[in-house]
Amino acid sequence: MAATLALAAGGCSFSWQLDALFPKKDTEKTAAEHTGSIKQADALPTTTLPPDLDLAYAKAAATDVLTRGGKDASQPWENPRTGARGTVTPISTAYSDAGLTCHDFLASYVQNGNSSWMQGEACRVHQGKWEVRTLKPWRRS
């Protein structure tokens, strides 16, 4: 009983911010609810690859960047017919696979404000030229 009386009498001295307990009106939205002018790109489905016409440009960029070599290299690509574009970047050091020198890479794909990623593997084949062996949607692990 004494505790209840003390809380009731001392309650006047508390300075609680009770506005957090009540919902705000639409006109009182916080700054966190507002975004800038940059629109977040919608992700493309990650279960399918882009059209073959666009993939041809991405594969050509992969062979170019791997032929050039160099640390932290990347190669932009663009298909002027479809407007699709992206960048190919090697992501590992070269390794040997079945007697071939191979390299993994990531390729971005951007079209109509949508973007997705692909992962691939290219290997040096006849006369030392790079050839893309695999290219598939990238899945984050």
The pLDDT tens digits for 16-41 are 444 444 444 454 444 444 444 444 44
* Whether the predicted pLDDT of 139 surpasses 50: yes
User: From CA 31, how far away is CA 35, in angstroms rounded?
Assistant: 8
Residue scoring higher pLDDT (69 or 36) = 69
* Whether the predicted pLDDT of 15 surpasses 90: no
Is 44 inside a domain boundary?
no
26 and 54 inside one domain = no
For residue 78, the tally of other CB atoms under 10 A from its CB is 16
Q: How far is CA 118 from CA 29, 55, 86, 107, 134, in A?
A: 39, 10, 10, 5, 10
User: From CA 135, how far away is CA 89, in angstroms rounded?
Assistant: 13
27 and 57 inside one domain = no
Residue-range definition of the domain harbouring residue 17: 2-31
Residues β-bridged to residue 95: 102
Is 18 inside a domain boundary?
yes
Residues β-bridged to residue 114: 42, 111
Strands 130-137 and 100-111: unpaired
User: From CA 62, how far away is CA 107, in angstroms rounded?
Assistant: 8
67 and 21 inside one domain = no
Q: Is-contact 55 77, C-beta < 8 A?
A: no
56 and 116 inside one domain = yes
Tell me the residue type at 62.
Answer: A
* Whether the predicted pLDDT of 67 surpasses 60: yes
Is 39 inside a domain boundary?
no
Residue 127 binned pLDDT confidence (cut-offs 50, 70, 90) = confident
55 and 112 inside one domain = yes
Q: Is-contact 120 141, C-beta < 8 A?
A: no
